[in-house]
Structures are given as structure tokens and as C-alpha cells.
Amino acid sequence: MTKGKPVPVIVRFCLPVLLGCLLQQSYNLADIAIIGRFIGMDEMGAVSATGSLNFLVIGFVLGLTNGFCIPIAQTFGAGNVSEMRRYAVNAFYLCGMFAAALTALTMIFTRPLLEIMNTPAETIESAHSYIIVLFGGITAIILYNIFAGLLRALGDSKTPLYFLIISCVISVILDLVFILGFNMGTAGAGWATVVAQIFSVVLCAVYLRKNYSVLLFKKDELKFSRKRCAKLISNGVPMALQFSITAVGSVILQSAVNDLGKVAVSAVGMASKIQVFLMQPMETLGITMATFCAQNLGAGKILRVKKGIRLGIVMVSVYSVVAGLLVFFAGRYMAMIFVSRSEENLTEALDYVTRLLRVNGSLYWILGILFVIRNSVQGLGYGTVTMLAGVSELVARACVASLVTVYGFNAVCFANPFAWFLADVMLIVIFVFLMKKLSKTPRKNF
């Protein structure tokens, strides 16, 4: 990503990553759609109610692995292949440690957290059956994301996509088999997702071993290094905590939504799944900017970094307007894929969905800028300061959650935009400071 015109380079890298992220999201989307249509809206609401808790844990994993890959991308961009391999080895050591710790913690605390979140009594068993299976597969999620991140750090964003296509098909097939054939309920959807993710991990591992000689480690490169682990942790943990801090705000908000009843819970779940897909291009462009900035910083091409960020903001702004118009006019119809028309309270649920999507969609441009700036700052090696934006989002969602008892569902509709706005304010201040600092850095030509 250090050569060629920035826009074509960014787009070519971004598109496969985008499709891969959409496929990853389709695991959960397929779960909800199949559960909603073949079991019922209550069970679909149960799975939806786990979304914020799932984001709390899986978001931590995504941030961790993305952060681990920044030093790998920087050393690769600088042409220091041996050092890149040393970072990769130590990243895998750390992934193993975090996988063991997260698996143990989620097995112990998932049920109490669902109770603290005021998950409706009639759905808590179904919710727990689903989410506990997913958390049992955290190791597979971590391994896939570190493999995919490693490939992206080396400039290959296409291969993880191909493997995800295969595993996504497997997931949908297993959803139908486990839920309809074996009558496993929500737990069956969880098992389908985990098995599919394990399959994608195996494919990535085999492909890397056979096709990337640059990753053939020498004996002295396999040593555990405290210094390199410290550098990896300094990039990975702040990004992971940033995701989790943001997710804590979502958990608090979900608790408030749960108090509004199962119809509101189901509506927020449907709206969230629609938004996850529409937000994915913005998030993917952010991921691309992290790699773009990391590689070009490693190569000393500061002017290219600045130009890429400016172009990224323009691209995400254009997309956010299009996505906002789509949900404004078609959000209600998009929600119908999740439920049967014979469901009780369907009209009320769809009214909630429409209201939430229209408020959020009109302000997607704020979120788009947030994704580009936050990931660019992380790619430049300042992941710790982006935690301040996560804290801003947490505070914003917590404040709005306290108003749900007074303003009802209207408060829920404005929670995310308020959080995005506060995070943007914080990040823009940080970003301006960093750009001034980079201006004093020695530069190389494009």
C-alpha cells in the first residue's frame, strides 16, 4: 500500500475486506433470520438481546488482533522481514494467552451479566444457550482474526474472503440442520457459527503455510520476546479496550431497552442487524486506513499518509449519505426478512425499527468520519489515545440510557448519534495534534 495512487490502492484493498466482514456478520444475521422465521420472534429477540454482550467480548478480540497486526504491518512496510516474523510469532503467543483467559471468564460471568442486563425472564434461557456456545468458540474467533489480520498486513485482503465464503455457506447449512433437523433451538445456531469459524481457521492456517515463504520462521525467530510482546500489547490492548469500553455503553443501553419490553428488544435487534451491514463499509474503510497508515508510516511516506486520510474522509462521507437515504426509505421493508408476517405485535415492532433507523441513518456521516480518523490514528501507532473516544461513547450511551425511563424509545433512537458525536469531537482534537507532529517527521516521496 506504499505505491500507486492512494484511492485505487485503498479501494482494491478495502473491497475484499468489506465482503469478508459482511460474510462474518452474515453468521449472526442468518442465525436471527432462521430463528425468527422458524422458531419465533421471542427467540429472535433473545438472540438479539445478546448483541451488546457479544460485542463486548468479540469487539475486544477484534481490537486486540487488529492492534497486534499494526507492528507487523509497520515492519513489513519498512522491509524488515525478520523483525516482522518475530512480531508475528509473539502475536500468536499472546493470542493463546488471551484466548484461554477470555474463555474462562465468559464461561463464568455470562449468565450473571444477562441477569444484570434485565434480560426478560421469558427469553433469558434461550439467550444464554446461544451466547455461551459462541463464547466457547472464542479461540477460533481469535485465530481467524489474527490469521486474516496477518494476511492483510502483508497486503493480501482477498484470501480471507474466499475462506469466509466457504465457511458462511457451511454456517447457513448447519443452521438449518441443527435448528430444523435436530431441534436444537438457539444453541443450534451458536454451534453452526462456531463450527464454520473453526473451518475458516483451518483453511487460513494451511494457506499461510503453503503460500507465504516470508512467514517460514527461523529457529531464533521463535523465541518469546518480552520487548516485542510489550509493543504488541501497547497496540492491541488499547484498541481492544476501546472496543470494549464502547460495548459497555451498549450493554448499559441494552439494559434500558430490556425494561421497555420484548417488542422493543426485538425491534432494536432487527434495526441493529440492518445497521451492522450498512455500517460495515464504513468500518472496513477504517480498517483499511489503519493498514494504509501503518505501512506508509513504516516507509516514511508522511505526505502519502495525510493524502490517504483526506481521501478516506471524502469516500466515507459520500457512502454515509447513500446508506442514510436507504434506511430512511426502505428500513421498514428490510426488517421484514427477520420475521413472519403472522407475528403478533409486528406493526408495533416495525414502527420502532423505522423510527430508530431514520434517526440514526440521517447521522451516519458522523460515524463514518469517526471510523476513518480513529483507525488512522491507531495505524500511526497511537492506539492508546483513541481510548478517550471510547470513553466518550460510553459516557454518552450511559447518559441517554438514564433518560429511557422518561422519554422511552425516543431516547434509544438518539443514543448512538450522541455517542458518535462526542467521540468525533475528542478524536478530531487528537488528530489535529498528531498531524502537526507528523509534519515535523522526515519525509519520503510517494
pLDDT tens digits for the chain (446 residues)?
Answer: 678 888 888 888 777 777 766 766 666 667 777 777 777 767 777 777 787 788 788 878 888 888 888 888 778 777 888 888 899 899 999 999 999 999 999 999 999 988 887 777 777 888 899 899 999 999 998 998 888 878 877 777 678 778 878 888 888 889 889 988 888 888 888 898 899 889 888 988 888 888 877 777 888 888 988 999 999 998 888 778 777 777 777 778 888 888 888 788 888 888 887 888 888 889 888 888 888 888 888 788 888 888 899 999 999 999 999 999 999 999 999 988 877 677 777 888 899 999 999 999 999 999 999 999 988 988 887 767 777 787 888 888 888 888 998 899 999 999 999 999 998 998 888 888 888 877 776 554 44
Determine, yes or no, domain membership for 22: yes
Domain that holds residue 252: 6-438
Determine, yes or no, domain membership for 444: no
- Distance, in Å, from the CA atom of 443 to the CA atom of 301, rounded to the nearest integer, reads 6
For the CA atoms of 238, 240, 243, 247, what is the dihedral angle to 10 degrees? -120
- Distance, in Å, from the CA atom of 197 to the CA atom of 185, rounded to the nearest integer, reads 19
Which are the contacts of 182, defined by CB distance < 8 A and separation ≥ 6? 188
Determine, yes or no, domain membership for 445: no
Determine, yes or no, domain membership for 263: yes
Residue bearing cell 517460514: 216
Determine, yes or no, domain membership for 55: yes
End-to-end Cα, the chain, rounded Å:
11
CA nearest 32: which of 183, 210, 175?
175
Determine, yes or no, domain membership for 266: yes
Burial (0-12, 13-18, 19+ Cβ within 10 Å), 377: buried
CB 245 within 8 A of CB 394: yes
Which are the contacts of 211, defined by CB distance < 8 A and separation ≥ 6? none
- Distance, in Å, from the CA atom of 399 to the CA atom of 419, rounded to the nearest integer, reads 10
Three-class SS of residue 39?
Answer: coil
- Distance, in Å, from the CA atom of 409 to the CA atom of 79, rounded to the nearest integer, reads 53
The DSSP output letter for 214 is: G
Three-class SS of residue 157?
Answer: coil
The pTM of the full predicted model, rounded to 2 decimals, is: 0.68
CA nearest 55: which of 283, 260, 234?
283
| Segment holding 341, helix H or strand E | none
Q: How many domains does the structure of the chain reveal?
A: 1
CB 444 within 8 A of CB 296: no
- Distance, in Å, from the CA atom of 352 to the CA atom of 132, rounded to the nearest integer, reads 29
CA nearest 91: which of 281, 232, 190?
232
Phi and psi, residue 443, nearest 5°: -115, 155
**Cβ neighbours around 349 below 10 Å, total:** 26
- Distance, in Å, from the CA atom of 42 to the CA atom of 26, rounded to the nearest integer, reads 20
Determine, yes or no, domain membership for 60: yes
Determine, yes or no, domain membership for 341: yes
CA nearest 378: which of 191, 196, 236?
236
Phi and psi, residue 382, nearest 5°: -115, 50
